[in-house]
Structure 1
Amino acid sequence: MTNLEAARAAPDTSAGRRAWFGLAVLLLPVLLVSMDMSVLFLALPTLTDDLDPTAAQQLWILDIYGFLIAGLLITMGNLGDRIGRRTILLAGATVFGIASALAAFAPSAAVLIAARALMGIGGATLLPSSLALISNLFPDQRQRSTAIGVWTAFFAGGSAVGPIIGGVLLHHFWWGSVFLINVPVLLVLLVLAPLLLPEHRAAALGPLDLPSVALSIGGILPAVYAVKHIAEYGIDIEALGSALVGTAALILFVRRQRRLAEPLLDLALFARARFSVAIGSSTAAMMSLAGLSYLSSIWLQSVTGRDPLQAAVLGIPMAVTVFIFSVNGSAVGRALGVRWAFVVALVLAALGNLLVLGIGADGGVGWYLAGSAIAGIGYGIVFTLVSEVAVASVPPERAGSAVGISETSFELGNALGLALLGSLAALVFRSGGEFAPTLGETIQHYRADSGLLAAARESFVTGAHVSLAAGAGVLLLMGVIAFAVGSGGRSAGSTTSDR
């Protein structure tokens, strides 16, 4: 048989127009979930004036969303594999929409925290199901890589563009509009998804192991809370108790996974050097990105005096580079090899964060623009490669669980970035003088004292410098690890080579 005859005889696995329309529908929840990680960075000053949350409530408004997503992603990915990925996508969209409306009209900080928690539960179903469905829509490997790149671009780009959209909305409407915009978008998803997306469930998988579910949630949430509490208040009984509970639950969880025939978390995946490097890289990248986005948003508004829309416009360069290099991340991986692509991306992200150290109490916008844009190149490449490695690491029937692991690393990194880097900056800020717990509260309470406000802004910038340098250090350390151990063998289904 000639090559031409063989090509004609081979089945056509290329995706049709319906699959690409299906991808467009899948991008809707991805964009919303990632936007809601960062959209509050710009809304927080306005929200603070309206609801008057305490410093602890401010952090919980930001953190609880990411904490619950991180705690539930692995569970929801496995659940989608069993009851149907489209089914859980639609259920999650419904919960996310209801919670968004509740958050938009929250009368108090406590209600807003509860609504954000409910949004986290809904969001945990949307990410793994949407990415796992791509493997059903695109059987052709190269088209699947392209689709994953587009998906990742909207996920990573959504986190970067969240403050921009939030700035536009806050310029015209009240702070609740940043949540209310989710509702019409999700209505479009609920109408089109049953028409364009295939249902997929793995009949070969057994029932979900409920003790594993309880142990995973009971381990992740207390452990992350302990880290947050120690960073903010130091080591005390509450922090030690939370850390002990979380650690014990996670140890029991790992032991149980090793005994189960169908574990909630397939620990064997971490024996693959490429998968471990990918998960570590995504956690480090999201941690530094969360810190950079959070601190720069406060700096642009509360230090330089810009309004939310002006601050949002200055975030466009990073949003553009994140989007472009997310779409082209697979091509970078093929050109450099997965190992070197991770190393280069992590170094670029670290370099960008270090350039942002040029910001000050009285200037430095140019340093911020250049640094954030360069960091965006690295973030975009990392996020695409992580998603591709996760999907390629397992057979199609377990795609949801593998994606759950990778997305957990994104959310855990985001939560840790806010908890550790945000709290580190707050600690340095408070040590600089007799200020209120946050810069926003200091400006609100001491408007007439120009000398104290100037000192507070200087102290905030110092804290931001320390946190950004710490984030860059984490990225460089992960880059060294990627170089040292990232030369493992080819992952199943991967289209790129290690070099």
Structure 2
Amino acid sequence: MDNSVLYLAMPSLTEAIAPTAGQALWIVDIYGFVVASLLIAFGNLGDRHGRLRFLLGGASLFGLGSAGAAFTGTPELLIASRALMGIGGATLLPSGLAIVSSLFPDVRQRARAIGIFAATFAAGFAVGPVVGGLLLNHFWWGSVFLINLPVVAVFLTFAPKLLKEVREARPGRVDPLSVAQSALGILLVVYAVKTAAAEGLSVGQLAVGAVGVAILVWFVRRQLTLDEPLLDLKLFRDRVFTVAVLTGLLSLVAWAAAGYLSGVYLQSVLGFSVLTAAFLALPGAAVLTTACVGTAGVVERLGKRTALIASHFFMGTGLVLLLFAGTETGAVFYIASTVIAGVGYGLSFSLVAETAVAAVPAERAGSAGAIAETSNELGNALGVSLLGSLAAFLFRLLGPGTDGTLDTTLSTPGLSADDAEQAKEAFVTGLHAAIGVAAALTFALGLLALRWLPREKPDAAAEPDAAVEELPRREEQPVS
């Protein structure tokens, strides 16, 4: 809900605190990068020291960060507040998924429960823009962050009463160096890409990016030598698990890039109000929510392999429709795109989480859930930073050259009609390029899944995790 509102609030936010092009991208995706950097570590810590404890602490941090973001007046403080929200979010996602899994030991019930769990993300995407649109029509941009506080308050009130505390029976040590490696490597690579798109390529940026890649390689090599790795690479021996995690990554790359760029497109290019833009997103969000809830039924009838493959082609087809959006008309293509792609997103969101949890022993559910959520959150951040940076680069290259973003360009005093039209055309060109890349990657992974995934046995469709090798499960130890 918070991220979908932020996409709509960006034009108002940009006008109020005037971030640079690079700062605007950081405002949007710093949350995702902090979450992606810490998810695996916090998933392991939750397994070892208590998942409910992490949920409660994470919710508190998320609420504090939201309050700070609402009342900040500078881009730097807003980025810092969003980073604090990211620390809280990194504790919530893997532990939440692990607790949901522990509540439903039956395979079929667990698959449906995780589908509903995934549907809450889609529901937040649907509700967030409407609530945010109403707030932005009556209050200042910071009010969109305050919608998180009632949710946090309700959670902190009822979670201790409704959720049991669970932790791994035999906890191990979390390697601090691995935590630092994963976080620093991701941030350095993304910083290099983002600054190159916003300011142009330089030797310094290439050096920063190279250092980030080297640290990530070091991180992977270290995981292969540890008895208690932060990232259990053995899980990727299962092809279904691997394709599912890649699906989680690419589906969020496409979803985040399309959501961020479409929010700006609807308001700044087509001229819709923030509330109208929010209502235009509702059909796709409704389909996305329904698809999440219905994924378990689809898997029972068609099998996990077919559902995974179909998700890519639904997403890719929906994204292609956005390529027909222009500077004068495009709302119809936008709605059709979100509806068709929403089927694919819904299937992928549920399958990624369910496959990850089903592939491991119960006491490792938090760690596996962290891998699934890391692929999602990293995809969410990469979609905005990499594809958003591609769109920003083309805008800077083809635009009138007055500023680095469309919103600030259109608000330039004395801007001529020709320059305004050139700016809109440059933005749409960048939008098409970013969405085209996302669609191509999605179709490519679909074809890979078609060739790579083993065909299921005749009765595989009847079991939600029949395509995943069941590893031995140990009993969870309730903690008083």
Alpha carbons of structure 1 residues 352 and 485: separation in structure 2 relative to 1, 3 Å: same
| Corresponding position of 1:209 | 175
CA distance, structure 2, for counterparts of residue 333 and residue 64 of structure 1: 35
Q: TM-score, normalised by structure 1?
A: 0.89
CA distance, structure 1, for counterparts of residue 377 and residue 413 of structure 2: 36
| Corresponding position of 1:304 | 270
Structure 1 segment 63-74 matched on structure 2, within 5 A: 63-74=29-40
| Alpha-carbon RMSD | 1.9
Match of 2:65 among 90, 94, 99: 99
Match of 2:152 among 172, 186, 208: 186
Structure 1 segment 140-151 matched on structure 2, within 5 A: 140-151=106-117
**Which letter does structure 1 place at the counterpart of 2:107?**
Q
Contact kept in structure 2, 1:334 and 1:496, CA below 8 Å: no
Structure 1 segment 256-335 matched on structure 2, within 5 A: 256-335=222-301
Match of 2:425 among 448, 455, 458: 458
Contact kept in structure 2, 1:353 and 1:472, CA below 8 Å: yes
Alpha carbons of structure 1 residues 44 and 256: separation in structure 2 relative to 1, 3 Å: same
**Secondary structure class of the residue paired with 2:113:** helix
Is 1:121 aligned to residue 87 of structure 2?
yes
Contact kept in structure 1, 2:400 and 2:422, CA below 8 Å: no
| Corresponding position of 2:121 | 155
CA distance, structure 2, for counterparts of residue 234 and residue 98 of structure 1: 36
Match of 1:445 among 405, 412, 415: 412
Match of 2:187 among 218, 221, 225: 221
Q: 1:400 Cα deviation (Å)?
A: 0.6
Q: 1:341 Cα deviation (Å)?
A: 1.1
Deviations 1:14-72 (A, max 9, x none): xxxxxxxxxxxxxxxxxxxxx22332111011111111111111111112111101100
Alpha carbons of structure 1 residues 330 and 226: separation in structure 2 relative to 1, 3 Å: farther
Match of 1:177 among 117, 131, 143: 143
Match of 1:467 among 434, 442, 463: 434
**Which letter does structure 1 place at the counterpart of 2:95?**
S
Q: 1:440 Cα deviation (Å)?
A: 0.2
Q: 1:262 Cα deviation (Å)?
A: 1.7
Match of 1:351 among 317, 320, 325: 317
Contact kept in structure 2, 1:356 and 1:372, CA below 8 Å: no
Stretches of 4+ aligned residues off by more than 4 angstroms: 488-491, 496-499
CA distance, structure 1, for counterparts of residue 304 and residue 128 of structure 2: 29
Contact kept in structure 2, 1:333 and 1:496, CA below 8 Å: no
Alpha carbons of structure 1 residues 446 and 481: separation in structure 2 relative to 1, 3 Å: farther
Q: 1:453 Cα deviation (Å)?
A: 0.8
| Corresponding position of 2:473 | none
CA distance, structure 1, for counterparts of residue 449 and residue 251 of structure 2: 13
**Which letter does structure 2 place at the counterpart of 1:269?**
L
Contact kept in structure 1, 2:173 and 2:228, CA below 8 Å: no
Q: 1:378 Cα deviation (Å)?
A: 0.6
| Corresponding position of 1:4 | none
| Corresponding position of 1:26 | none
CA distance, structure 2, for counterparts of residue 416 and residue 357 of structure 1: 20
CA distance, structure 2, for counterparts of residue 248 and residue 284 of structure 1: 23
**Which letter does structure 1 place at the counterpart of 2:109?**
Q
CA distance, structure 2, for counterparts of residue 413 and residue 451 of structure 1: 36
**Secondary structure class of the residue paired with 1:204:** coil
Identity of aligned residues (%): 50
Q: 1:383 Cα deviation (Å)?
A: 0.7
Is 1:479 aligned to residue 446 of structure 2?
yes
Is 1:368 aligned to residue 334 of structure 2?
yes
Contact kept in structure 2, 1:103 and 1:176, CA below 8 Å: yes
Contact kept in structure 2, 1:156 and 1:323, CA below 8 Å: yes
Deviations 1:360-395 (A, max 9, x none): 111121111111110111100011000100110111
Deviations 1:443-497 (A, max 9, x none): 1104552221122112211221111111111110111111121227799x96244
Runs (5+) with no aligned partner, structure 2: 469-480
| Corresponding position of 2:308 | 342
| Corresponding position of 1:384 | 350
Contact kept in structure 1, 2:327 and 2:424, CA below 8 Å: yes
Q: 1:257 Cα deviation (Å)?
A: 1.5
| Corresponding position of 1:495 | 464
Deviates more, 1:240-249 or 1:463-472: 240-249
Q: 1:310 Cα deviation (Å)?
A: 0.6
Alpha carbons of structure 1 residues 253 and 336: separation in structure 2 relative to 1, 3 Å: same
Contact kept in structure 2, 1:358 and 1:368, CA below 8 Å: no
CA distance, structure 1, for counterparts of residue 195 and residue 418 of structure 2: 31
Contact kept in structure 2, 1:81 and 1:401, CA below 8 Å: yes
Contact kept in structure 1, 2:58 and 2:89, CA below 8 Å: yes
Deviates more, 1:336-345 or 1:111-120: 336-345
CA distance, structure 1, for counterparts of residue 313 and residue 100 of structure 2: 30
CA distance, structure 1, for counterparts of residue 46 and residue 178 of structure 2: 16
CA distance, structure 1, for counterparts of residue 448 and residue 202 of structure 2: 33
| Corresponding position of 2:475 | none
**Which letter does structure 1 place at the counterpart of 2:429?**
T
Q: 1:290 Cα deviation (Å)?
A: 0.8
Is 1:238 aligned to residue 172 of structure 2?
no
Is 1:198 aligned to residue 167 of structure 2?
no
Q: 1:405 Cα deviation (Å)?
A: 0.7
Deviates more, 1:146-155 or 1:422-431: 422-431
Contact kept in structure 2, 1:272 and 1:488, CA below 8 Å: no
**Which letter does structure 2 place at the counterpart of 1:487?**
P
CA distance, structure 1, for counterparts of residue 134 and residue 436 of structure 2: 30
Runs (5+) with no aligned partner, structure 1: 1-34
Match of 1:59 among 21, 25, 34: 25
| Corresponding position of 1:47 | 13
Deviations 1:190-228 (A, max 9, x none): 111111100011130212222222222122221232333
Alpha carbons of structure 1 residues 463 and 221: separation in structure 2 relative to 1, 3 Å: same
**Secondary structure class of the residue paired with 2:224:** helix
Contact kept in structure 2, 1:279 and 1:386, CA below 8 Å: yes
